[in-house]
């Protein structure tokens, strides 16, 4: 929580000299049966920045995300997190590396057998044995407050009793409970109304501003992508066909990206 | 529109003998290939469970939760089915034994059958139907709603947190439930034999005491423990493999019960062959005086 907030451009320059990028993907390939989903992805995520991976449905965005956190192993290529290649790590090594991550799933993926409080307390109980009783309760409450979750959400209520936006915020509170360096967001605004979508966007920006978190967002929501992203990568048919600052991508000449963006910005 | 402008349908490829043979071989071979594929995945799942079994932290709260779910949750149906199984087994055996004037041996015959075979098998089938389907449904729902993936991303190993306590709970509880089933069954048989058919209670109990050994009970309890491992592993595996929403979860639960039941019925014969020489020949428990 005490990590200082940083500007992405500054971080990118200094981190190259001091520390490796937060995430580096080299030549990532993945095939399921006859279908090659990822055909050689190259991607760099700088520390403290927000990268949005934009693309249509079925283009391999979720598969790419699952490789970044080691839920899937690549057929070829490397996923390098904080200088360590995680693509062929053992289960025990992966467990250690995953402490650096938080992940917010599309539907929240909150444990439905636990209350909202227990969901947020879950990673703390597992990994912060020093936090017990009142200290644990204080920590969980501070996380709820960080994401503007009121007392009624914190009580003995279950995730099924929450709205979509509240569920996403509880999921984010759980994801950042261990103060990860990197948070992955899987379609965070899908199925939400415009006001809740805006709240989720602010939440992603707040996580960067207040906690200095590196974020990777996969989305097909163009408006949200252009609002939160420091960099955008466009995934099309298993390849990153264009990437860069949002202002650069806005004028991309790639035909598929032009068609994709025209659905929001208009044909001209 | 003239007939010349109509789209011409693509010609249907002629079924050559070679193609028919190839499709036939593929169809025949697909079944065994799928079986080998599933068996391999289940073996990897079991090895993964064994890898995480001895590692810290031990999930005591999860273990107690599943001990309660498997043990207390299945208690009522085990008592009920045990009692009526004993009653009907005693009733039918009595009809047969009466022809030889051996009514007094109904007690030992029933107890031997219950303790060595019917107890663990029927208890296993009951637990598979109740707890096995519950495990597959809960884990399957967690899989399709990405809760298992979420747990992994929080650096908590799902195999260690979700599967190991279930396997331990079923392994500990099955022998206990088998003993309860056997006890209730014997009580049901006693009520039929002594209460309804008028066998002298002293003779009934003394003949039972003479004809049974503690090792008869050990065989049933060991079988029960093995069935507990089978039920929990198969059900957890099916839950972890679930995909495709509510329908996928339902199919996983069905497969879990069917496969667990089949594995119990096959396993009981294999275990009988393996345990008989071990328990009744080489190791003789003669703890109780006759």
Task: Give DSSP secondary structure letters for B218-260.
Answer: HHHHHHHHHHHHHHHHHHHHHHHH--SHHHHHHHHHHHHHHHH
| Mean pLDDT in residue range B25-36 | 89
Structural domain range at position A163: 49-66+91-265
Residues A256 and B100: their CA atoms lie apart, in Å, by 89
Peptide bond into B57 cis (omega under 30): yes
What stretches of B66-126 adopt beta strand conformation (E)?
none
Contact B154 A106 (CB under 8 A): no
B119-127 vs B73-98: helix axis angle to the nearest 10?
150
pLDDT for residue B4: 46
Indicate whether B8 belongs to any domain. no
Indicate whether B49 belongs to any domain. no
Structural domain range at position B239: 61-282
Indicate whether B22 belongs to any domain. no
pLDDT for residue A169: 84
pLDDT for residue A157: 85
Name the pairing type of β-strands A231-236 and A214-219. Answer: unpaired
In contact, A11 and A230? CB cutoff 8 Å: no
Query: Phi and psi for B136 in degrees, rounded to 5?
Result: -65, -40
Please compute Rg for chain B using Cα positions. 26
Contact A71 B151 (CB under 8 A): no
Indicate whether B205 belongs to any domain. yes
Select from A162, A63, A167 the least CA-distant residue to A109.
Answer: A167
CA of B145 to nearest chain A CA: how many angstroms apart? 6
| Mean pLDDT in residue range B158-165 | 95
Instruction: Assess whether pLDDT exceeds 80 at residue B279.
Output: no
Indicate whether A97 belongs to any domain. yes
CA of B250 to nearest chain A CA: how many angstroms apart? 18
Judging contacts by C-beta atoms under 8 Å, the chain B residues touching residue A102 are 153-154
Give the residue with greater pLDDT, B53 vs A16.
B53
Q: Provide the ipTM.
A: 0.82
Indicate whether A243 belongs to any domain. yes
pLDDT for residue A6: 41
Positive/negative CA dihedral, B196, B199, B203, B207:
negative
Residues A157 and A122: their CA atoms lie apart, in Å, by 15
Contact A98 B155 (CB under 8 A): yes
Instruction: Assess whether pLDDT exceeds 70 at residue B11.
Output: no
Indicate whether A248 belongs to any domain. yes
Residues lower than pLDDT 70 in chain A: 1-18, 151-155, 266-268
**CB of B92 less than 8 A from some CB of A:** no
Judging contacts by C-beta atoms under 8 Å, the chain B residues touching residue A127 are 155
**CB of B276 less than 8 A from some CB of A:** no
pLDDT for residue B176: 97
Select from A190, A24, A177, A11 the least CA-distant residue to A103.
Answer: A177
Instruction: Assess whether pLDDT exceeds 80 at residue B3.
Output: no
Indicate whether B6 belongs to any domain. no
* CATH number, residue A101: 3.40.50.300
Based on the structure, what is the number of domains in chain A?
A: 1
pLDDT for residue B103: 85
| Mean pLDDT in residue range B153-160 | 92
SS3 of residue A53 by DSSP: strand
Positive/negative CA dihedral, A75, A78, A82, A88:
positive
The model's pTM:
0.83
Indicate whether B106 belongs to any domain. yes
pLDDT of B220-273, one tens digit each? 999 999 999 999 999 999 999 999 889 999 999 999 999 999 999 999 999 998
Indicate whether B72 belongs to any domain. yes
pLDDT for residue A10: 40
Contact B150 A96 (CB under 8 A): no
Give the residue with greater pLDDT, B151 vs A189.
B151
Contact B153 A122 (CB under 8 A): no
| Mean pLDDT in residue range B66-87 | 94
pLDDT for residue B282: 53
Return the bridge partners of A240, or none.
A235
Based on the structure, what is the number of domains in chain B?
A: 1
* Chain B: residue whose CA lies nearest to A109: B147
Indicate whether B20 belongs to any domain. no
What mean pLDDT is reported for chain B? 89
Indicate whether A235 belongs to any domain. yes
pLDDT for residue B162: 95
Indicate whether A198 belongs to any domain. yes
pLDDT of B186-219, one tens digit each? 999 999 999 988 889 999 999 889 888 888 899 9
């Amino acid at each position: 929580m005490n990590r200082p907030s940083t500007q992405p451009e500054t971080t990118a320059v200094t981190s190259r000299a001091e520390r490796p990028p937060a995430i580096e993907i080299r030549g990532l390939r993945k095939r399921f049966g006859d279908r090659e989903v990822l055909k050689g992805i190259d991607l760099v995520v700088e520390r403290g920045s927000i990268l949005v991976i934009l693309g249509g449905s079925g283009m391999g965005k979720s598969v790419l995300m699952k490789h970044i956190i080691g839920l899937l192993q690549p057929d070829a290529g490397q996923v390098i997190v904080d200088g360590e290649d995680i693509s062929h790590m053992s289960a025990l090594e992966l467990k250690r590396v995953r402490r650096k991550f938080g992940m917010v799933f599309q539907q929240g993926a909150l444990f439905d057998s636990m209350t909202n409080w227990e969901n947020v307390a879950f990673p703390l109980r597992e990994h912060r044995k020093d936090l017990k009783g009142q200290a644990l309760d204080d920590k969980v409450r501070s996380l709820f407050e960080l994401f503007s979750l009121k007392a009624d959400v914190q009580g003995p209520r279950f995730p099924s009793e929450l709205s979509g936006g509240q569920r996403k915020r509880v999921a984010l509170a759980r994801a950042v409970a261990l103060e990860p360096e990197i948070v992955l967001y899987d379609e965070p605004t899908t199925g939400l109304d415009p006001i809740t979508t805006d709240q989720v966007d602010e939440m992603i920006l707040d996580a960067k501003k207040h906690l200095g978190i590196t974020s990777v967002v996969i989305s097909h929501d163009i408006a949200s992508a252009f609002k939160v992203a420091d960099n955008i990568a466009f995934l099309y048919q298993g390849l990153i066909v264009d990437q860069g600052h949002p202002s650069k991508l806005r004028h991309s000449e790639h035909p598929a990206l032009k068609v994709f963006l025209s659905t929001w910005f208009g044909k001209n | 529109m003239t007939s010349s402008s109509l789209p011409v349908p693509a010609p249907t490829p002629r079924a050559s003998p070679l193609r028919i043979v190839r499709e036939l071989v593929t169809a025949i071979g697909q079944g065994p290939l799928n079986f080998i594929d599933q068996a391999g995945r289940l073996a990897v799942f079991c090895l993964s469970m064994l890898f995480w079994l001895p590692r810290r932290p031990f999930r005591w709260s999860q273990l107690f939760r599943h001990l309660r779910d498997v043990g207390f949750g299945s208690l009522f149906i085990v008592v009920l089915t045990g009692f009526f199984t004993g009653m009907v087994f005693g009733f039918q055996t009595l009809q047969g034994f009466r022809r030889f004037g051996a009514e007094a041996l109904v007690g030992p015959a029933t107890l031997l059958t219950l303790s060595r075979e019917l107890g663990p098998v029927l208890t296993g089938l009951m637990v598979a139907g109740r707890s096995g389907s519950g495990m597959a449904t809960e884990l399957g729902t967690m899989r399709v709603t990405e809760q298992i993936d979420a747990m992994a991303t929080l650096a908590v190993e799902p195999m260690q947190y979700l599967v190991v306590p279930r396997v331990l709970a079923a392994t500990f509880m099955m022998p206990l439930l088998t003993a309860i089933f056997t006890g209730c069954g014997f009580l049901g048989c006693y009520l039929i034999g002594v209460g309804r058919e008028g066998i002298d209670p002293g003779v009934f109990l003394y003949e039972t005491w003479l004809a049974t050994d503690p090792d008869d009970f050990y065989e049933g309890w060991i079988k029960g423990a093995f069935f507990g491992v089978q039920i929990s592993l198969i059900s957890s595996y099916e839950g972890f493999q679930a995909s495709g929403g509510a329908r996928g979860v339902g199919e996983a639960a069905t497969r879990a019960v069917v496969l667990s039941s089949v594995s119990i019925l096959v396993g009981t014969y294999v275990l009988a062959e393996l345990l008989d020489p071990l328990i009744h020949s080489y190791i003789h428990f003669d703890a109780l005086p006759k």
